[in-house]
Amino acid sequence: MAIETHLLSILFSYEGELVSGELLSRHLGVSRATVSKYAQSLMRMGYRVESSPKLGYRLKDYHNLLIPKNIKRGLRTSIIGRKLLHFFEVTSTNDVARQIASQFVDTDGTVVVAESQTGGRGRVHRPWISPLGGLWFSIILKPNITPSEAVQLTYVAGVAVAKVLRSYGLNAKIKWPNDVLIDGKKVCGILNEVSATPDVVNYVVVGMGINANVDIELLPEDIRERATSMQRELGEPVDRVSLLQQVLFQFEEEYRTFHEHLSSILDDWKALSDTIGRHVEVRTLTQTIRGVAIGVDTEGWLLIRTEDGSIQRVLSGDCLHLKTT
């Protein structure tokens, strides 16, 4: 377990009591100065850690921890998040959610949330760095839809996250197929994993990772240049509990619309898209397509007009936004 995460879990286990720096130093296997450094880091991420030079450290309150009692208090959903599992650290919330969905029947709407992930991933198993301060969670769904329809739940998640972030005054837009950006920089990734036979969906796990209070400066340089966080954009930490409550509520609203009027979801996605109208290069497993993204069709396929005027349909792939002169 990462030192910051371990420190947070220890302070949580003491239920608000002061823990001496010496004891924490022994628990963590680091110096007392290092304990102080990581405690300050937790404070910057919005955790309510209180320190006293002589008495030690304590978690002043649990308000910003993503524990079930915090999230359920004020949660306005009917199904999504009514069953909720919290972890301080997991390899991936999607992995935990898939295990639960495959082993138990009554799991529709269950949410798995973690303070951090050690093996978070995006499309084609690319690593997704998921430190403390972010919002890392997965939703288990067991819908009565076809496998081809299940792919479109990525649109549902993207629309939900973008709408919530825009309610904070952020210029959030969706980059096809599964990213949410703020002014061109990635703030959220979505990973939709489906278990199905050719005709029947067993379950869908919709994973989302939002850089809420993540310190972008601590990310690798190549990622840092393309990423942002809500905290960076707003100039202050966000309440992650409130953020999660809002995203779960908005997701449930969009999920209901998805079942009733898919075209409405696609219309919202188009309105929020940062991809439509751009020159793009989309790389699939079999080909590379260049052209202008002109929309999505009724089945959720991206439509690209190539240089010869033909329209290419793409269901999934890596999308690059090309600069034009």
CATH class (in words) of the domain with range 279-321: mainly beta
**CA–CA gap between residue 151 and residue 128 (Å, rounded):** 20
pLDDT tens digits, residue range 29-50?
A: 999 999 999 999 999 888 889 9
| Predicted pLDDT at 105 | 87
Q: What is the pLDDT of residues 98-130, one digit of tens each?
A: 999 999 989 999 999 999 999 876 665 576 678
pLDDT band at 221 (very low <50, low <70, confident <90, very high): confident
In percent, the amount of the chain with pLDDT more than 70 equals: 97
Query: Within 10 A of 68 (CB to CB), how many other CB atoms are there?
Result: 16
CATH (residue range 68-272): 3.30.930.10
In the chain, the largest separation of any two C-alpha atoms, in whole Å, equals 73
Q: Is the pLDDT of residue 215 over 80?
A: yes
pLDDT above 70: residue 5? yes
Q: Is the pLDDT of residue 259 over 70?
A: yes
Residue 323 pLDDT > 90: no
How many residues appear in the chain? Answer: 325
Distance of CA 53 to the CA centre of its chain: 37
What is the per-residue pLDDT across 140-179, written as a single tens digit (0 to 9) for each?
999 999 998 998 999 999 999 999 999 999 999 999 999 9
Region 293-318: mean pLDDT is 94
Confidence at 190, pLDDT banded by 50, 70, 90: very high
Q: Lowest-pLDDT range, 89-98, 117-126, 131-140, 238-247? A: 117-126
Are 180 and 135 in contact by the 8 Å Cβ rule? The answer is: no
Percent of the chain past pLDDT 90, that is, above it, reads: 81
Look at residue 1 and tell me whether its pLDDT is greater than 80.
no
Residue predicted with more confidence, 217 or 19 = 19
The amino acid present at 266, given as its one-letter code, is L
Q: Is the pLDDT of residue 82 over 70?
A: yes
Mean pLDDT (the chain, rounded): 93
Round to whole Å and give the CA distance between 316 and 178: 10
pLDDT digits (tens, 9 = 90+) for 265-286: 999 999 999 999 999 999 998 9
Q: How far apart are CA 317 and CA 286, in angstroms?
A: 10
3-13 helix and 32-44 helix, angle to the nearest 10 degrees = 80
pLDDT at 299: 87
Q: Structure pTM?
A: 0.91
Domain residue limits, the chain? 3-59, 68-272, 279-321
User: Which one, of 177, 180, 179, lies nearest residue 168 by Cα?
Assistant: 180
- pLDDT score, position 245: 98
pLDDT at 122: 66
Q: Give the CATH class of 3-59.
A: mainly alpha
